[in-house]
Structure 1
């Protein structure tokens, strides 16, 4: 079934178990405005509630970069005062938290610019890959913008304290190769194979047992101390649920019969 979005600047295409969450604000080179920040939590919640969605792929719409950051034109309007700035940052954090709290695997596929708030969106995802030539930066130091700890924790969890210091203190751009070396990315794909590689990766994830992926996601986030990680008791309950599932029986049967399993998430 289609998943409606609160804004046309964020769209969802759902096929073969992959929910593509497309950032589509071409007039601003995929900068995020306040409307988009506020729309992201209910949209992610709707995807999470859709049984046919096995993995969430966050990416720019065709021909657009991943995200060029926050819409600078709003700095002199909705972010003109300290109160407005704090409210805006709260909307940012709620968007990051929504992605982080999604029970399904989240994959950021990054091409072109991944700047400022775009890095926050990507950092909130479980897995990040990029096209060669992608550029990364957090230019807050050149804008006079302050990041609260609730937002900063996503960047620090993704790259560590030393890299976070460098990113914020210098405000310089990093290449995809540097982002890979820093641990921000899992893979970098060549431009010619990028689209196919992202499709293959998302389909590979979507084909695996949903309950196992949910349990693994929870346990990894808890073990790594990542933001919004579930409790150990919740992780243990998710793992136990796998052994009581029809998918566990299907996985065993498929292995013995030497065929591909067909998981249902039950």
Structure 2
């Protein structure tokens, strides 16, 4: 990762979740390298705190999720906690409840989220990555959900996201075998969006994030809301929400600024209002 000026560096979960803001881009880093950034319950809670702060920071327009080091994005759940926290159905349900709020927060996050992935992205790491809006990966990354090798039932939300990205047949192959696939295969089947040489990953991620940050926040929010509704069954779509954000865009100062900037042949200065 490049050494760039940052403000408001913070840590959560005893330093295993790091948060910073750079040029209007919030960065959340999974920082558990001894366990290849495996997720513990404390890390889920810390992730939630970091995401809420970035959500409520008006200067932050886009969030990047990344992992410390070059070995892993998130290698999965911390299996060393399973005997204590997930040893049977009742305990597993309680475990799921404790991370449910953070998963719901990420699933419904109002700002664009980019997962910048190098190394292992497995199990629970796949769950996190699939909830992001965009997945940009290094050519040395690997993906898989080893639930069948551990006797775990992967949750509904995770499988719903997997099927929406790769379709039911590839979801079955991945889930039934627990196989790992490389970055090229992941891109080919639609699991990830862009694959880059490892040395170029962070610069490319930041370039996309800065581009998003420079665009009109309401227009991006409209796209995010509408795409989410498109993915729902027709009977469950909230067309009023789509109409409301569309109206907000067309009545916004940013829409007027966009028109002025186009006519004046200059870069627009969007405020999100």
- Normalised by the length of structure 1, the TM-score is 0.93
Partner of 2:3: none
Partner of 1:58: 65
The whole-number CA distance in structure 1 between the counterparts of 2:209 and 2:246 is 23
- Alignment check: 8 A CA contact 2:136 2:201 kept: no
Shift of 1:38: 2.6
Shift of 1:62: 4.3
Structure 2 segments unaligned to the other structure (5+ residues): 1-6
Measured at CA, do residues 117 and 92 of structure 1 come closer, stay the same or move farther in structure 2, by a change above 3 Å? farther
SS in 1 for 2:73: coil
SS in 1 for 2:262: helix
Q: Does residue 97 of the first structure (1) align with residue 104 of the second (2)? A: yes
Residues 23-172 of structure 1 aligned to structure 2 (within 5 Å): 23-172=30-179
Partner of 2:4: none
Q: Could you list the per-position Cα deviations for residues 121-169 of structure 1 after superposition, in whole angstroms to 9, with x for gaps in the alignment?
A: 0001111110101000100011011123233222222222111111110
Partner of 2:225: 218
Q: Which region of structure 1 is more displaced relative to structure 2, 60-69 or 184-193?
A: 60-69
Q: Which region of structure 1 is more displaced relative to structure 2, 37-46 or 250-259?
A: 37-46
- Alignment check: 8 A CA contact 1:93 1:151 kept: no
Q: Does residue 262 of the first structure (1) align with residue 269 of the second (2)? A: yes
Partner of 1:233: 240
- Alignment check: 8 A CA contact 1:218 1:235 kept: yes
The whole-number CA distance in structure 1 between the counterparts of 2:46 and 2:162 is 22
Q: Does residue 208 of the first structure (1) align with residue 184 of the second (2)? A: no
Measured at CA, do residues 62 and 13 of structure 1 come closer, stay the same or move farther in structure 2, by a change above 3 Å? farther
The alignment covers a number of residue pairs equal to 264
Partner of 2:8: 2
Q: CA RMSD in A?
A: 1.9
Measured at CA, do residues 159 and 40 of structure 1 come closer, stay the same or move farther in structure 2, by a change above 3 Å? same
The whole-number CA distance in structure 2 between the counterparts of 1:256 and 1:172 is 53
Runs of 4+ in 1 over 6 A off after TM superposition: none
